[in-house]
Amino acid sequence: MSSKHHQLVSAGEPGMDRRLFMSSAIGMAAGAAMLPASAQDSGSGLGPPPGASLQMGGAPNGPKLFRVESDIKDVEVDGKIPEDLNGAFYRVGPDPQYPLRPGNIPFDGEGHVSMFRIKNGRVDYKTRFVRNDRYLAQEKAGRILFPMYRNPTVDDPSVKGLSRSTANTHIINHRNYLLALKEDSPPAAMNLLTLETVHPNYTFDGQLKSATFTAHPKVDSDTGDIVAFGYEATGFGSNDVNIFQITPQGKMVWEAWIKVPYVSLLHDFAVTDKHIIFYVMPLAFDEEQIKRGGVHWSWQKGKGTYFGVMRRGGDGKDLRWFKGPDRSSTHVMGAFSDGERVYVDVEMSEYNPFPFMPFADGSKWDPVKGASQITRLSADLSKKSPRDYKIEVLYPGYFGALPRQDDRYNTKPYRIGYVPCPHPNPADRSKRPNACWARFDHQTRKATLFDAGPGTTLYEAIFVPKNKTAPEGVGYLLGVATRQNEGGRGDLLILDAEHIEEGPIATVKLPIRAVPQIHGWWVPEDQLTST
Ligand SMILES: [Fe+2]
């Protein structure tokens, strides 16, 4: 890397700007580039009204629903698609079939998958809903049948026993399938090229014992195996977690069962070459709220956090929990083991990062406490009695969520990470939430910034290596930009991942809004054509 190409941005001052913090936290909450600027910048401290955001596809004053399934051939491109960039960029997010009920939250809504198929310098765009049990039942009924986020007690009686999966959170490829993931259910399997739903409840040929499957499996850096888990694994509200490893050929080669100290949003986890790490936090299962017809979770102040570490390949009985103060951490950037020390880099906020998630004590949401920063958690397993885990903010002044890394390093020591964020400049940051992608170099502790400019918000970005053997971070950064001043029209931006400050190499210009996104995934050409 030549330093002349790098405009190193020093961390901005960590001043307390309530609107910035609110924007940052909402950004995390919703995957949020799609949030209307008016909602993000309302200054109310409470964020957008529940259900008023994700489905709008980025249009500041657009309709409540989007629902447009698209096939666009040879999308217009500014610049030149790199010759070595061939494959497909997939995205998924909630796009409700029907308007969300009052009190529901933007995490609900049916999964809509989009694909940018990139080959030989051309790009085709295709989107399809995940046609799983829930989608088909509602389509047949012509109305919403699952009215509240992860609360089956208020479902329409006609869907009792049916999978409640929205399949709206993340997607990965496995064998010859694209798996659409929602953490309360098994995946839905789709055809990689047609996006047809072929297995609405994919259980890995019956090997999946857990009732659920995480939205954040990891790919073992050495074997290519999927390491994944399911929480509430033996039923709704259960404290059982099932962890397992599946080969690229689809054989489950290891599993273990553990229990968590209390049932919380176990959205992501960390896997190293030696260890598996969970983080239990006070966004916890709320049985009383569920009985009242509310959502699955509430922020339950004072429950504390538990950083749990166990060895891979064992039976889980070595699991140790390190206690800590109330904090929230939803996503992992990367993790590694160094002897008996484990390190996990996460997005972390002081408390509930989601303005629409209720507080058990009735508190109003505070955007300052809800803002996330990239934070390193660590624990020393050589100590005999469990003690606190350590907390270190890596880049003070940068606030953002939805971190990613070069996914070839999921289970290895890594150096580079990426995250959507507002500009760290205090004068700029409150006005333009999620206007930037930051590239963090953990070796130098320097940040490099791509600023998308006024009127644009950015979704999560993903890294694509130039080729299979390219060094870490050598390749492209891909993500969708929402043009707020053009009715929320979407552009796919392709950047040189080593020089993101130079802006896009190519811009793929959709004539319409992109469907909402929480997470995205890249599948290289050889894995597409072998299907
Ligand atoms: Fe996620």
> Does residue 492 surpass a pLDDT of 80?
yes
pLDDT of res. 37: 30
**Cα–ligand 1 centroid distance for 346 (angstroms):** 12
Residue with tokens 């997470």: 519
**Cα–ligand 1 centroid distance for 265 (angstroms):** 11
Hey, CA dihedral for 258, 327, 31, 141, is it positive or negative? Answer: positive
For 286-337, the DSSP string reads: -HHHHHTT--SEEE-TT--EEEEEEETTS-STT-EEEEE-S-EEEEEEEEEE
**Cα–ligand 1 centroid distance for 461 (angstroms):** 13
Q: What is the mean pLDDT of residues 451-477?
A: 97
pLDDT of res. 14: 32
> Does residue 69 surpass a pLDDT of 60?
yes
Task: State pLDDT tens for residues 362-399.
Answer: 999 998 899 999 999 999 999 877 679 999 999 999 99
pLDDT of res. 529: 75
**Cα–ligand 1 centroid distance for 294 (angstroms):** 22
pLDDT of res. 203: 98
Query: What pTM was computed for the model?
Result: 0.91
> Does residue 21 surpass a pLDDT of 70?
no
**Cα–ligand 1 centroid distance for 401 (angstroms):** 10
> Does residue 309 surpass a pLDDT of 80?
yes
> Does residue 46 surpass a pLDDT of 90?
no
Count Cβ atoms within 10 A of the Cβ of residue 391 and give its class: 0-12 exposed, 13-18 middle, 19 or more buried: middle
**Cα–ligand 1 centroid distance for 2 (angstroms):** 33
**Cα–ligand 1 centroid distance for 382 (angstroms):** 31
**Cα–ligand 1 centroid distance for 168 (angstroms):** 10
**Cα–ligand 1 centroid distance for 333 (angstroms):** 11
pLDDT of res. 63: 63
pLDDT of res. 489: 96
Instruction: Identify which of 29, 18, 110 has the alpha carbon closest to the alpha carbon of residue 356.
Output: 29
CA distance 270 to 403: 13
**Cα–ligand 1 centroid distance for 460 (angstroms):** 10
pLDDT of res. 62: 54
> Does residue 68 surpass a pLDDT of 90?
yes
Q: What is the mean pLDDT of residues 289-293?
A: 97
> Does residue 9 surpass a pLDDT of 90?
no
- How far is the CA of 388 from the CAs of 333, 434, 465, 508, in angstroms? 21, 33, 37, 47
Q: Do the strands 297-299 and 226-231 form a parallel or antiparallel pair, or are they unpaired? A: unpaired
pLDDT of res. 41: 31
**Cα–ligand 1 centroid distance for 369 (angstroms):** 20
**Cα–ligand 1 centroid distance for 170 (angstroms):** 7
Q: How confident is the model at residue 432 (pLDDT cuts 50, 70, 90)?
A: confident
Task: Return the higher-pLDDT residue of 44 and 448.
Answer: 448
* Per-chain mean pLDDT for the chain: 89
Percent share of the chain, pLDDT over 90: 83
pLDDT of res. 58: 41
Dihedral over alpha carbons 259, 264, 269, 274 (to 10 degrees): -30
Q: What is the mean pLDDT of residues 117-126?
A: 98
> Does residue 468 surpass a pLDDT of 90?
yes
> Does residue 512 surpass a pLDDT of 50?
yes
pLDDT of res. 430: 72
Percent share of the chain, pLDDT over 70: 87
- How far is the CA of 488 from the CAs of 452, 478, 527, in angstroms? 14, 18, 32
**Cα–ligand 1 centroid distance for 1 (angstroms):** 31
Q: How confident is the model at residue 289 (pLDDT cuts 50, 70, 90)?
A: very high
Q: What is the mean pLDDT of residues 265-270?
A: 98
Task: State pLDDT tens for residues 26-45.
Answer: 444 443 333 333 333 322 22
**Cα–ligand 1 centroid distance for 5 (angstroms):** 32
- How far is the CA of 482 from the CAs of 37, 183, 452, 453, in angstroms? 11, 27, 10, 11
Q: What is the CA radius of gyration of the chain?
A: 21
**Cα–ligand 1 centroid distance for 223 (angstroms):** 23
pLDDT of res. 39: 31
Q: How confident is the model at residue 531 (pLDDT cuts 50, 70, 90)?
A: low
**Cα–ligand 1 centroid distance for 30 (angstroms):** 9
- Within the chain, what is the greatest distance between any pair of CA atoms? 64
**Cα–ligand 1 centroid distance for 518 (angstroms):** 7
**Cα–ligand 1 centroid distance for 125 (angstroms):** 23
> Does residue 179 surpass a pLDDT of 90?
yes
